[in-house]
Copies of this chain bind each other. A is one copy, B any other.
Amino acid sequence: MLNLLLAVRQRSESLVAPLEPEDLCLQGMADASPPKWHLAHTTWFFDTFLLQPYLKGYEGCDPRWNYQFNSYYEAAGARHPRPSRGVLTRPTIREIFAWRQRVDAALTQLLTSPDADQEDIQQLAELGLHHEQQHQELLLMDLLDGFSRQPLEPAYKTGADHHLGPLEPTQARWISCDGGLYEIGHAGAGFHFDNEGPSHRIWLEAFALMDHLVCNDDFRCFIADGGYQRPELWMSEGWSVQQQLGWQAPRYWRGDGPADQWQEEFTLGGRRRLNPQAPVRHLSWFEADAYARWCGARLPSEAEWEVALQQHQPLIHDAHGKLWQWTASPYRPYPGFLPAPGAVGEYNGKFMSSQFVLRGSSWLTPEGHGRDTYRNFFAPANRWMAAGLRLAR
């Protein structure tokens, strides 16, 4: 556990190695956070929720750092406004790294002490580890957003996300599932976020899930067929968002307009040619939903997605490791869900309105972080995450 934890902590630092110092405070929009902030916030999480309460003699960080690096925990006090995280040029990266070392040392001390086996400590350490993994993905998707706003279109790393898709066309197939009473949600041992439980029964009618993700070429057909100009394909809210923001293609597609000109996309490896067979990515729930309607299909519910995997795992391609997959399910608590008491209970439970669930995991998700029961969630207009879609009917 300690070794894994320290390895995850180490990986966070290696993620910023390819960056220029000026990139460390880059915040492209209110929803995103600068790389340095992610490094500090994940450290604050251990400092505040694990070390201060459980490690005797541990001295917590400066209260102003608490103010700066608390993300959204009301119970942990007031916070610096999220849209202005980019102005926090201080503490410097050196100070953050020093803090990280101090926290790593304290974690080592705590987790090798006689207290280490206490359930609270184990659970919080594990939560902190998975929290840090989540922020590793956030760091990269926030960076892609920030880089995409620059005329120079910097690359994070040459070759980053090169191999998301095959180069040859593949034949997509419907995978059928019988109707019936199923059980979904996390059961048994092993780490999971609170929102993945309780495990519970759900009735499903027969349905089918597509074995492949929708690819760029598919989506190009939607655009060519006037997909962005036909209100009947869209939720009313989505139509007005796209009209207002002028969407004409997925977030990072590049080109100058008509469908056949969308030949490139911006990636962490810089601008490159669109791979027609690669799964389409960085689109909103509204676009995913409109695309599915245009196909005469629909998005799967999260239960359908999970049950299909229970039944036919090997047939469902790219459930993990390519793109998060939008579902038709609003993000709401499972029956019987109760968040933990205290600040940690704010982790997931208070976001259960006006968002949709995504399932699976993405090429940005750290190794070992995904799960079939994992419930990721974003607002239906968000596009900067590594999101794609898979059809159902």
Chain B hits for A151, CB < 8 A: 64, 67-68, 80, 88
Given the complex of chains A and B, what is the CA–CA distance between A68 and B200 in angstroms? 50
- Per-residue CB contact flags for chain A residues 88-117 toward chain B (1 = under 8 Å, else 0) read 111111000000000000000000000000
Q: From B64, B72, B88, B335, give the contact of A236 (CB < 8 A).
A: B72
Min CB distance A318 to B, Å, is: 25
Q: Which residues of A in the span 110-167 have a Cβ within 8 Å of any Cβ on B?
A: 146, 149-152, 154
Q: Quickly give the copy total for this chain.
A: 4
Interface centre among A72, A332, A350 (most CB of B within 10 A): A350
Is there an interface contact between A87 and B380, defined as CB atoms closer than 8 Å? no
Is there an interface contact between A154 and B236, defined as CB atoms closer than 8 Å? no
**Beyond A68-B152, A88-B150, 16 extra complex contacts between A and B, CB < 8 Å:** A21-B21, A21-B93, A22-B90, A27-B87, A75-B231, A90-B150, A91-B152, A181-B203, A201-B205, A205-B335, A235-B350, A235-B351, A236-B350, A237-B353, A239-B350, A285-B353
By a beta-carbon cutoff of 8 Å, the part of chain A in contact with chain B is 20-28, 36, 64, 67-68, 72, 74-75, 80, 84, 86-93, 146, 149-152, 154, 181, 200-203, 205, 231-232, 234-239, 285-286, 289, 328-330, 332, 335-336, 345-346, 350-354, 356, 380
Closest 5 pairs between A and B when the two form their complex, measured CB to CB:
A21-B21, A330-B330, A203-B203, A74-B231, A22-B89
Is there an interface contact between B328 and A354, defined as CB atoms closer than 8 Å? no
Chain B hits for A74, CB < 8 A: 231-232, 239
Is there an interface contact between B202 and A203, defined as CB atoms closer than 8 Å? yes
Is there an interface contact between A26 and B28, defined as CB atoms closer than 8 Å? no
Given contacts A201-B203, A205-B201, are A149 and B332 in contact (CB under 8 A)? no
Chain B hits for A285, CB < 8 A: 353
Is there an interface contact between B236 and A89, defined as CB atoms closer than 8 Å? no
Chain B hits for A289, CB < 8 A: 353
Q: From B150, B237, B332, give the contact of A89 (CB < 8 A).
A: B150
Chain B hits for A329, CB < 8 A: 332
Is there an interface contact between B152 and A90, defined as CB atoms closer than 8 Å? yes
For A341, give the chain B residue with the smallest CB separation: B232
Given the complex of chains A and B, what is the CA–CA distance between A89 and B151 in angstroms? 10
Chain B hits for A330, CB < 8 A: 330, 332
Give 29 pairs: A residue, B residue, CB < 8 Å, sorted on A.
Answer: A20-B89, A20-B90, A20-B92, A21-B24, A22-B22, A22-B24, A22-B90, A22-B92, A22-B93, A23-B90, A74-B232, A74-B239, A90-B150, A90-B152, A91-B152, A181-B181, A201-B205, A203-B203, A205-B335, A232-B345, A232-B346, A235-B352, A235-B353, A237-B351, A238-B353, A239-B350, A285-B353, A329-B332, A354-B354
For A88, give the chain B residue with the smallest CB separation: B150
Chain B hits for A22, CB < 8 A: 21-22, 24-25, 36, 89-90, 92-93
Is there an interface contact between A146 and B89, defined as CB atoms closer than 8 Å? yes
For A152, give the chain B residue with the smallest CB separation: B90
Is there an interface contact between A149 and B87, defined as CB atoms closer than 8 Å? yes
Given the complex of chains A and B, what is the CA–CA distance between A75 and B236 in angstroms? 12
Chain B hits for A80, CB < 8 A: 151
Chain B hits for A203, CB < 8 A: 181, 201-203
Chain B hits for A146, CB < 8 A: 87, 89
Min CB distance A86 to B, Å, is: 6
Given contacts A64-B151, A75-B232, are A87 and B238 in contact (CB under 8 A)? no
Given contacts A22-B25, A87-B149, are A350 and B234 in contact (CB under 8 A)? yes
For A200, give the chain B residue with the smallest CB separation: B205
Chain B hits for A328, CB < 8 A: 332
